[in-house]
Structure 1
């Protein structure tokens, strides 16, 4: 089965990017990827490669290939740093058949999504509007019409209503303000990124934007104490999903 890349938008950009005209255009970047599509430093264990081509200092196109040169995915980004999609995204099966075609506008899926079986048979057709909800059809391998279900479903937290604000509230409840930070009157907003795995576990916790050493550590610990999630889904299959959450520390 072809690996899908989750593109669920969790949090807006942390900062406005500088104007493209004021910044030099970076050169195309080439990366080697392992079997999980994680970036690796050497060719040992490489299964794929990725080319990141900039249109200016912010926008660009990301392409992924097999080591033999077969195109697997191509995505257009409005902001490469924040991974905000804009335009057409396409993915292909290893046999060259189109697997996925979807449209984004300013980081939001908007327009038509099509998904195909490896033999070229249409698997899903859906239309997304401004509200984010979709309408469409699902098909079996032989072309038979199936009951429609959402292509992507966010992870649900096991407390409260399960939504994003329930996660933020749970983290806030776990926070313990460090004494040295209180004494120093250190305060601010920490951004923490983590992944909800296919099993609903919290993993890969790291600081995206810190404030003060002990405050950053308190934020990490508050996220570590989160309970389990109902995993997110993509096309009916459990997938790992990244979250970035803001945690505010303020001396009263």
Structure 2
């Protein structure tokens, strides 16, 4: 089987927080019951959360999304200037089940604009970051007792342990162009996955098809076979979290090596 040499390799993360990923965001209705993954369900007895979406007024495009724990305690409040396209505008807030505010950020036209505040569970400020039109300006971090500490970024993306060049080499070596498709000009597949808190790739899915099954299957195969623990886990506000990533893989016959595997 001929080996694929990638013309280019693009690798970048899509943090799932604070972006909305729920499948109910096009709905304006009464109570929406949600499971732990915030997917809409019909059986309220299995719900972990419920949400209510409402317009600021009938003529306005502005929408307020409020998510609650099943206990009735508010869990999240997000303001949108519109849902199509989905644009956060105003406050985005997250709460613990005891009512403690954990995250409070200002947005303008879909970008952070103003302050991003996070809090320890005891209510002590954890960070105060300032943004303008989506650009980080400055920030301060604090320990649980309120003492200022060395600053660390709110989001730290996962990284391949051995560097991006090594990851590119791995893909070049292990991604193959199906020989039965040598007459095809090429294709591009976008694969999504999560890097978990142990640095493993999980939940690999096809985000964008090449419209050719063999390309799609090969892209999924090579990503799934990346060895466990190959990534340094990402962090959000100093804590390891799952990060959603996406990886475009280009199949280009003009860049095939001539040797067979």
Measure how far apart 1:139 and its partner are.
Answer: 2.3
Q: Which residue number in structure 2 is paired with residue 22 of structure 1?
A: none
Q: Number of aligned pairs?
A: 226
Q: Which residue number in structure 2 is paired with residue 190 of structure 1?
A: 189
Distance in 2, matches of 1:94 and 1:115, equals: 16
Task: State the structure with bigger RCO (CA 8 A, min sep 6), 1 or 2.
Answer: 2
With normalisation by structure 2, the TM-score equals 0.71
Structure 1 unaligned blocks of 5 or more: 10-24
* 2:10 matches 1:7: no
Q: Which residue number in structure 1 is paired with residue 252 of structure 2?
A: 250
- Pick aligned residue for 2:115 from 112, 117, 127: 112
Distance in 2, matches of 1:53 and 1:243, equals: 31
Distance in 2, matches of 1:224 and 1:49, equals: 34
* 2:165 matches 1:155: no
Q: 1:138 to 1:96 in 2, by over 3 A?
A: same
Measure how far apart 1:117 and its partner are.
Answer: 2.7
- The SS at the match of 1:65 is strand
Rg (Cα) greater in structure: 2
Q: Which residue number in structure 1 is paired with residue 7 of structure 2?
A: none
CA-to-aligned-CA distance 1:19-73 (integer Å, 9 cap, x gap): xxxxxx9532624122xx35264445422123456899x9855432111222111
Measure how far apart 1:99 and its partner are.
Answer: 1.6
CA contact (8 A) 2:48 2:70 kept: yes
Q: Which residue number in structure 2 is paired with residue 176 of structure 1?
A: 176
Q: 1:210 to 1:233 in 2, by over 3 A?
A: same
- The SS at the match of 2:202 is strand
Structure 2 unaligned blocks of 5 or more: 1-14, 20-24, 255-261
Matches within 5 A, 1:210-221: 210-211=209-210, 212-221=212-221
